[in-house]
Amino acid sequence: TITPRRGDPVAVSITYTASVTNGRILWTAAAMTKNGEAVSQELLDQINAHMSSSWARYWKNHRQPGRVTAFDIGEDAITVTLTSKR
């Protein structure tokens, strides 16, 4: 639920998928509902563009050196496997 400063709370559900491409983790919003109604593809595209740049900035500042070769999403953790650049 998102509660804006002005207005009523909005019930939001979003499903992300993740993949490894060129040594990077890419997150994609696959589906989203707002108050039980599916959002448009245009909005999903906007979310994906924002998520991509936000994740890239976060990862650049917090990752360890190396290239992502695999990752696993568990119940309470995400495990990332890196190979070092030699």
Chain centroid, CA 11 distance in Å: 19
Give the integer Cα–Cα distance in Å for 85 and 82: 9
Amino acid letter for position 71:
F
- 51-80: average pLDDT: 82
Whether 50 contacts 58, CB under 8 Å: no
Q: Work out the pLDDT band at 86, boundaries 50, 70, 90.
A: low
Terminal C-alpha separation, the chain: 46
Segment 1-26, tens digit of pLDDT: 888 899 899 999 999 888 888 878 88
Q: Work out the pLDDT band at 40, boundaries 50, 70, 90.
A: very high
Give the integer Cα–Cα distance in Å for 36 and 61: 36
